[in-house]
Amino acid sequence: QLQLVESGGGLVQPGGSLRLSCAASGVTLDYYNIGWFRQAPGKEREGVSCISSSGGTSNYADSVKGRFTISRNNAKRTVYLQMNSLKPEDTAVYYCAADWSPYSGICPLGDGKGYAYWGQGTQVTVSS
């Protein structure tokens, strides 16, 4: 059974950076698309970024393009989300999720309904 654990959240000033990690246990990540999602208080969950199981494709929400970078290290069973130039509107609980998609060259983003496995979330607060 795949289990995901996020880490790396915290409090950062506007313009700062954080790197979130999503570590998997139980099985290898090789055949899973991985997505990062976030939910702010009173708002719907939204897709932030995803990376295909092959690692060849990544997608980003328009609001984070050019600032966030997703990457994966299957040997370490970990997916990262590097977040730069953070803004107060990036404040949310960030979740990683996995979708079984062997050899996939695409990854869906959306609101995450297609992702079966979820971590517990990590809080990111951007404030001065």
- Residue 42 contacts by C-beta under 8 Å, 6 or more apart in sequence? none
Share of the chain above pLDDT 70, in %: 100
Question: pLDDT value at position 26?
Answer: 81
Tens of pLDDT, residue by residue over 11-59, are 999 999 999 999 999 888 999 999 999 999 999 999 999 999 988 899 9
Q: Is 47 exposed, middle or buried (0-12, 13-18, 19+ CB in 10 A)?
A: buried
Question: pLDDT value at position 83?
Answer: 98
Question: pLDDT value at position 1?
Answer: 85
CB 35 within 8 A of CB 50: yes
Tens of pLDDT, residue by residue over 64-110, are 999 999 999 999 999 999 999 999 999 999 999 999 998 888 898 88
Three-class secondary structure assignment of 39-92:
ECCCCCCEEEEEECCCCCCEEECCCCCCCEEEEEEHHHCEEEEEECCCCHHHCE
Closest CA to 21 of 115, 94, 89, 126: 94
Question: Rounded CA gap, 112 and 46, in Å?
Answer: 8
Question: Rounded CA gap, 18 and 124, in Å?
Answer: 9
Question: pLDDT value at position 40?
Answer: 96
Question: pLDDT value at position 50?
Answer: 97
Question: pLDDT value at position 90?
Answer: 98
